[in-house]
């Protein structure tokens, strides 16, 4: 996983895993995806970086509350929109 497209595909897969109740493995895989995303995310648009920070913050909040469906929504919709903007 080394491109924004790879991260986008991984985020969709993670959303499905969270929806199916495979929370433990999905959370571990999400940590890897987030680390990769932070490293490869384009830094030319400060507003995109700020939006990424907000989305990841919301994902962390959902994870702490164990709100797996909301987390899946963030991965499947909000993060996807941002990654499309940056591609």
pLDDT class for 87, splitting at 50, 70, 90?
confident
Q: Is residue 7 within 8 Å of residue 36, measured between CB atoms?
A: yes
* Closest to 3 (Cα-Cα) out of 11, 54, 28: 11
Query: HSE (CB half, 13 Å, CA atoms) of 72?
Result: 16
Entry pTM = 0.91
28-75 pLDDT, tens digit each: 999 999 999 988 887 778 999 999 999 999 999 999 999 999 999 999
| Segments making up each domain of the chain, as ranges | 4-86
Count Cα atoms within 13 angstroms, Cβ side, for 5.
1
Give the integer Cα–Cα distance in Å for 76 and 58: 13
């Amino acid at each position: 996983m080394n491109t924004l497209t790879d991260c986008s595909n991984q985020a969709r897969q993670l959303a499905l895993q969270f929806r199916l109740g495979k929370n433990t493995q999905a959370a571990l895989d999400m940590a890897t995806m987030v680390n990769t995303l932070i490293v490869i995310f384009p830094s030319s648009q400060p507003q995109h970086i700020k939006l990424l920070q907000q989305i990841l913050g919301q994902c962390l909040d959902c994870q702490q509350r164990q709100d797996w469906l909301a987390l899946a929504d963030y991965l499947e919709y909000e993060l996807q929109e941002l990654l499309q903007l940056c591609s």
